[in-house]
Structure 1
Amino acid sequence: MTVQQPVRPPHPGGYPRIDGVPRPSVPRPPVWATGISRPPTWWRDTSVLAAWAVLLAVVALWVAGGGVQSLGTVDGALLSVGRLTGLIASALLLIQVFLMARVPWVERAWGQDALARTHRLVGFTSFSLMLAHLAIITLGYAAGSAAGLWGTIVDLTLNYPGMLLAIAGTVALCLVVVTSYRAARRRLRYESWHLIHLYAYLGVGLALPHQLWTGQEFLSSPVATVFWWGLYLACAGAVLVYRIGVPLWRSLRAPLRVVHVRPESPTTTTVVVGGPGVARLRAQAGQFFQWRFLDGPGWTRAHPFSLSAAPDGATLQFTAGRAGDGTVRLAGLRPGTRVLVEGPYGRLHPGVRTRRKVTLIGGGIGIAPMKSLLEGLPQAPGDVTVIHRVGSEQDPTLAAALDATARRRGARYVRLAGPRNRDRASWLPGWADAWDDAAALLHLCPDIAEQDVFVCGAPEWMDRVRTAALSAGVPADRIHLERFQY
């Protein structure tokens, strides 16, 4: 027979007494604790310092190679400054490639949203410096030549080693930059944009022979040679390992296949994937993968889709709107189709949570990761509020599942339906024109300033939600969002 020991009163110092010996109590973790560690802040700081260190090293090597001493004459100054702009442009181009190489600690520290914005800023800066390099270096050679400007251009193009390849690489990079502007992106299908952006790797590769054969600073000293070769090899290695090698190894080691496909609405499709590799991916609710389906032509193009259900160790589920060729074909996937994945990616997961109470705000198909978070977040009744913004009351996308899950978990589910407000930029539907954006949030969640806020939807709409949340008193570091735009 088991005898239950009587519960002794706590020790005056705050410790329970067990067998007469006071022992420290172990505080119980809060109900919302996930056990998932947040990336240390020094990861991001270290990556920023590393990027600046690379640029400082470029300038130092330029100085050591006689860059400053060449500034005494007009042609010498133009050539020297032209070389410096070209070197910095090359370094930034390599940093840009590294940022999007899916290096795990970089991706976890920044998240794909911040990485994409930084990648774009670095890319435009690199491209501008590259154009400056071409113009200044040509003027420098022309200033010291009797052939004139046009004769110098012809001579550089035809007679300098690697120049034709460098010009081809510049044209490839021009295509990438032009299609990166918002107006151009909106006119391109995702599949076309994805193909054009692969030319960035071609541009980087075609520039290398030019630097090897005519780049004075590239070969000016053993230190410079090791430095530049090290940068190229580090970037190439990161791409080959994390963009190609790791996803391929995972997919071959533990194959994934389509288990089930179902329509959620006339414009959205849910796909369920399963296999022995699911558990090894260690995905979290709210994250996304790059998906490839081996069902015929076009399988090489990956598409980013967020999980629309919390991972259960056996299956992964995502829900996507039909917005292009790659998403339309999802409805025709057959069970058993092989699947290749990259990921999981993104910081829209329980590990970034800092507060007990959470508000999840999703617009359109952006509600998919919110549903996943609703299922995956540790919570007590009343801890979570879900705000679902849809364009029509008749849109059934995930509504029934969200409502059922919210009832089961004691969460609050609010559905805001209606066309967007055409009179002002607002995250609210048009019928709520009398409401201020921030006031509406405070009406729905009076204590939102004390909560974490997760947001997903169209980029402009998310910006409006974020502005409203900031105005309602939510600190910027407690607003978690991820933009899925190309």
Structure 2
Amino acid sequence: MTYRVPAPAANRPRTMHVRRRPRPTPAWWRDAVGVLCWVSVLVVVALWVSGRGLQTVADGPAGLLTSLGRLSGLIAANLLLVQVFLMARVPMIERSYGQDELTRRHRLVGFWSFNLLLAHIALILAGYTLRDHRNLLRETWSVVTTYGGMLLAVAASLALALVVLTSVKAARKTLRYESWHLLHLYAYVGVGLSVPHEIWTGADFTTSRVARLYWWSSYGVALGATLLYRIALPVWRTLRHGLTVREVIREAPGVVTVLLGGRKLHRMPVRAGQYFVFRFLDGPGWSRGNPYSLSASPAPDRLRVTAKAAGDGSSRLARLRPGTRVAVEGPYGRLTAESQVTDRVAMFACGIGITPLRALLEDRPGAEVLVYRARSLADVVFREELEQLSRRYGVALHYLLGPRLRGRESWLPEGARSWSDEDAVRRLVPGIARYDVYVCGPDRWMDAMCAALRATGLPPNQLHQERFSW
């Protein structure tokens, strides 16, 4: 396929602004979501108490272990549903927390759920062993082969174990994003396979009408949210807006921009700085979605994304042909002007992390400083556009070029070794504490950047970041 060389920024079509912006996110949504999660745990504990959980604790060692096993299993199941609900892309939740924070909370809740599941298995088997006066292996075999739904529960536990093992940081480093995402779908398998065991043998299901109402309602809400927001809404938006590839442009070494055309995009509730999960319907592998930030302010008939080749999904962008249809899920993310609390904005970008900040710069001409860290001038993405926007809006534009500084974790290049990280921030953005600061780049660079910003005394609510790690 032949690629055209991008025209100078002055000759490119000027991006039109979206005519209708999404409504601001109510501040109380975040608190409401947190309260509901904790209330669900308290309800589960209350149901355990009403089901003679405390009385059974006093029935000797076997009763103590069995009752605690019931409690740990109930909380584990509840946290598993909370985990599913957090990642169901519910707008109220996603807009309140942002996907990067939701991913961290999802992982934390998932590990707690799995650890409680292991405790449930161990405590129940130990309690049954004492009650039936058998050895552990015989009791385990008896439980698995004679209790209703236990074989499915074993399969559910194995599926969840696979998800947990591949969520460990060391494992994630060895997996491609596409492989990790596919394996993570086994969490839904685990949830589904665990239901028969709870219905057929769970004391709360078999003895308490109130508990049955709670659990069936919880499963129904989780399933409904997943079907509505993970499947129905993306399908509806894909069909309504009819996105297709218009053009593919090489921006820098290994960096590709894709221009997407569509209809009624002014009806899409998207802001500059957000991202979508895109599926390009160009052949094998189309079902695997990849998240890409908008690299320009959204227009009524056009979106633009830019990515660096870092995996199968992003590498295939360079091979896309005009006319390729696109399935879309989103928009997501909170790296937007909505979170701004002051009237001044400074931006720090590294590498391909410039993409959402480039869109924000165009959408928010009130920005005053942009600091862009890159290895060389040839690696600066959108150089002509950034310089044009800098002149148009009076933004101070700084390029920090060179290889990574060795010997310490820093956001600075080797040539700035004489500066400390926080002093460099103060020199580039005097009075940094009076600014809202937007940061985007690789994880290690962002860690160093955010540490430097905190060291300058920047208030936490003025630091805005979004990470796309998985």
User: Which range, TM-score by smaller chain?
Assistant: over 0.9
2:287 aligns with 300
Distance 1:411 1:54, change over 3 A: same
Q: 2:427 aligned with 1:443, yes or no?
A: yes
1:135 is matched by which residue type in structure 2? A
Map 1:317-356 onto structure 2 (within 5 A). Answer: 317-356=304-343
- Residue by residue over 1:356-376, the C-alpha shift from the partner in whole angstroms, topping out at 9 and shown as x without a partner, is 110111111101111001000
2:395 is matched by which residue type in structure 1? A
The 2-side partners of 1:151 and 1:63 are apart by 30
Q: 2:407 aligned with 1:423, yes or no?
A: yes
Q: Relative contact order, CA 8 A, sep 6+: which one is greater?
A: 2
Q: Secondary structure at the match of 2:101?
A: helix
1:25 aligns with none
Q: Secondary structure at the match of 2:44?
A: helix
2:180 is matched by which residue type in structure 1? W
The 2-side partners of 1:253 and 1:190 are apart by 28
The 2-side partners of 1:198 and 1:187 are apart by 18
Q: Indicate conservation of the 8 Å contact 1:108/1:346, yes or no.
A: yes
2:75 aligns with 88
Q: 2:362 aligned with 1:375, yes or no?
A: yes
- Residue by residue over 1:80-125, the C-alpha shift from the partner in whole angstroms, topping out at 9 and shown as x without a partner, is 0001000000000100000010000111111112111111111111
2:40 to 50, 54, 57: 54
Q: Secondary structure at the match of 1:394?
A: helix
User: Which structure 1 segments of 5+ residues have no match?
Assistant: 1-33
- Residue by residue over 1:133-174, the C-alpha shift from the partner in whole angstroms, topping out at 9 and shown as x without a partner, is 111111011111133111001101111111111111111111
2:265 to 273, 278, 281: 278
How far the C-alpha of 1:37 sits from its partner, in A, is 5.3
1:292 is matched by which residue type in structure 2? R
1:266 aligns with 253
- Residue by residue over 1:187-211, the C-alpha shift from the partner in whole angstroms, topping out at 9 and shown as x without a partner, is 1011110100000101111111110
Q: 2:469 aligned with 1:482, yes or no?
A: no
User: Which structure 2 segments of 5+ residues have no match?
Assistant: 1-19
How far the C-alpha of 1:461 sits from its partner, in A, is 1.4
- Residue by residue over 1:412-434, the C-alpha shift from the partner in whole angstroms, topping out at 9 and shown as x without a partner, is 11111111112000111122111
Map 1:130-209 onto structure 2 (within 5 A). Answer: 130-209=117-196
1:333 is matched by which residue type in structure 2? L
2:29 aligns with 43
1:228 to 209, 212, 215: 215
Q: Indicate conservation of the 8 Å contact 1:286/1:307, yes or no.
A: yes
How far the C-alpha of 1:229 sits from its partner, in A, is 0.4
Q: 2:271 aligned with 1:257, yes or no?
A: no
Q: Indicate conservation of the 8 Å contact 2:22/2:271, yes or no.
A: no
Higher helix share: 2
The 2-side partners of 1:138 and 1:311 are apart by 57
Q: 2:97 aligned with 1:110, yes or no?
A: yes
Q: Indicate conservation of the 8 Å contact 1:281/1:343, yes or no.
A: no
- State the aligned residue count: 450
Q: Secondary structure at the match of 1:435?
A: coil
The 1-side partners of 2:22 and 2:323 are apart by 33
The 2-side partners of 1:53 and 1:360 are apart by 39
The 2-side partners of 1:37 and 1:251 are apart by 22
Q: Secondary structure at the match of 1:219?
A: helix
How far the C-alpha of 1:36 sits from its partner, in A, is 6.4
**Segment of structure 1 superposing worse, 258-267 or 84-93:** 258-267
2:387 aligns with 403
1:130 is matched by which residue type in structure 2? L
1:267 is matched by which residue type in structure 2? G
Q: 2:53 aligned with 1:67, yes or no?
A: yes
2:226 is matched by which residue type in structure 1? V
The 2-side partners of 1:341 and 1:161 are apart by 42
Q: Indicate conservation of the 8 Å contact 1:393/1:417, yes or no.
A: yes
2:405 is matched by which residue type in structure 1? N
Q: Indicate conservation of the 8 Å contact 2:370/2:395, yes or no.
A: yes
CA RMSD, Structure 1 to Structure 2 (Å): 1.3
1:452 aligns with 436
The 2-side partners of 1:99 and 1:125 are apart by 15
Q: Indicate conservation of the 8 Å contact 1:374/1:384, yes or no.
A: no
The 2-side partners of 1:41 and 1:421 are apart by 40
Q: Secondary structure at the match of 2:205?
A: coil
The 2-side partners of 1:253 and 1:438 are apart by 48
The 1-side partners of 2:48 and 2:380 are apart by 61
Normalization by structure 1: what TM-score? Answer: 0.91
1:5 aligns with none
Q: Secondary structure at the match of 2:123?
A: helix
Q: Indicate conservation of the 8 Å contact 2:280/2:286, yes or no.
A: yes
Q: Indicate conservation of the 8 Å contact 1:74/1:140, yes or no.
A: yes
How far the C-alpha of 1:392 sits from its partner, in A, is 2.5
1:234 is matched by which residue type in structure 2? V
The 1-side partners of 2:260 and 2:103 are apart by 27
Q: Max radius of gyration: which structure?
A: 1
1:290 aligns with 277
- Residue by residue over 1:213-235, the C-alpha shift from the partner in whole angstroms, topping out at 9 and shown as x without a partner, is 11111232111101000110100
Q: 2:227 aligned with 1:240, yes or no?
A: yes
How far the C-alpha of 1:281 sits from its partner, in A, is 1.3
The 2-side partners of 1:252 and 1:368 are apart by 26
1:472 aligns with 456
The 1-side partners of 2:99 and 2:229 are apart by 14
**Segment of structure 1 superposing worse, 73-82 or 262-271:** 262-271
The 2-side partners of 1:479 and 1:115 are apart by 17
Normalization by structure 2: what TM-score? Answer: 0.94
**Segment of structure 1 superposing worse, 472-481 or 214-223:** 214-223
How far the C-alpha of 1:255 sits from its partner, in A, is 1.0
How far the C-alpha of 1:55 sits from its partner, in A, is 0.3
**Segment of structure 1 superposing worse, 467-476 or 438-447:** 467-476
Query: Identical aligned pairs, as a percentage?
Result: 50
Q: Secondary structure at the match of 1:218?
A: helix
